[in-house]
Amino acid sequence: MHIEADELIGALRRSGLRITKARRAVCEVLAESHLDHLTAAALLQRVNERVGGNVVASTIYRSIDALEEQGLLHHIHLGHGPGVVHLSDDPLRDHLAHHHLVCEGCGRTVDVEMAAVVEAMGELAQEHDFSMKSVHFALVGLCLDCASL
Amino acid sequence: MHIEADELIGALRRSGLRITKARRAVCEVLAESHLDHLTAAALLQRVNERVGGNVVASTIYRSIDALEEQGLLHHIHLGHGPGVVHLSDDPLRDHLAHHHLVCEGCGRTVDVEMAAVVEAMGELAQEHDFSMKSVHFALVGLCLDCASL
DNA sequence: ATCGTTGCAAAATTTTTGCAATTAG
DNA sequence: CTAATTGCAAAAATTTTGCAACGAT
């Protein structure tokens, strides 16, 4: 359903980029946490846990950039705070859309299913001569907990 | 179709907040530029043009916060760079959604119509016990210009 | 007279960049 | 070997905060 680490690494390599220990770890962490929306800081931490090491934030950002340039990853800012990244959905096996309910109170983000809409989005993009890479869709409001405060 | 300056000012006043020259200008600029998605910096500039003056960035951010707490305004980050703000749509006269095509190349943001989807979003929110304030919806990809580079 | 608001300056946060040293291919 | 990548440190960009002075009600 999502891109796997090997595919990421392969794609980078095919573009003449080099696979270092840090880069490989970034790919692996991303592939393993495709359910999460990781901040760069969280990604950094998991990468360092994995390599037992001293990988530095700028390396993470540069890896993110590299993957993003390949269209393998997208980043988006949902509300306040740092941006989050996640792998692209695989267009061959899945649809392109990500959907979230973003709570303004606690920042909690709930992923929701809404496959029906995706088709309409594709048409929309076509009408505007837009080559769609991914859809981010944030429904901003208050979750039940925060609404009752 | 959108909230007007007087409504903004009235709502702030009703909440016991005070209407200063800076704050009034913020409300007026926002109401006048409801088509744009202003960054804090752009808002600052327009406010200063309007009051001929020395309003400072932190004042803008504090006004944004005040309006956001009232649910009159929302801010979102679409891709890189600074966040943008815009007034809430008026739920009585219009639907809640904002839609954008965000070009990864040049950052250009095109607003699109897609009213049909909004209803589905409302149902979606209800299913998740989520009180919807607004919908932000970014279709990330490349516009025609950038795709041909 | 109160208490929210402002400007200013300083800090916090997130991300980017320059550069010499390292390392993958 | 060659050129991409790294760590480090410094800078940039955006947003937040503390505080004394000011101003709205």
* pLDDT tens readout for residues B22-78: 999 999 999 998 767 789 999 999 999 999 989 999 999 999 999 988 888 888 776
Q: How far, in Å, CA of B123 to CA of A80, rounded?
A: 25
Q: What averages of pLDDT result for each successive group of 10 residues across chain A (149 residues)?
A: 85 95 96 82 96 94 92 76 76 48 58 59 71 62 62
- CA nearest to A127 within chain B: B112
Cβ of B77 within 8 Å of Cβ of A74? The answer is no
Fold category of A1-90 in CATH = Arc Repressor Mutant, subunit A (1.10.10)
Q: From the Cβ of A12, is strand D under 7 Å away?
A: yes
CB B55 within 8 A of CB B47: yes
Length A84 CA → C3 C1' (Å) = 39
Using a 7 Å cut-off to protein CB atoms, list the covered nucleotides of chain D. 4-10, 13-18, 23-25
What is the location of CATH 3.30.1490.190 in chain A? 96-149
Of A74, A101, A128, the CB nearest to B140: A74
Q: Is B24 left (phi over 0), alpha (psi -120 to 50) or beta?
A: alpha
Query: What stretch(es) of chain B map to CATH 1.10.10.10?
Result: 1-90
Alpha helices, DSSP H, located in chain B: 5-14, 21-32, 40-51, 57-69, 115-127, 144-147
- What pLDDT, in 10s, does the model give residues B94-149? 444 556 665 655 555 666 655 555 666 667 677 777 776 666 666 656 666 666 65
The CATH homologous superfamily of the domain defined by A96-149? Ferric-uptake regulator, C-terminal dimerisarion domain (3.30.1490.190)
- Phi, psi (degrees; rounded to nearest 5) at B9: -65, -45
Do the Cβ atoms of A73 and A85 come closer than 8 Å? yes
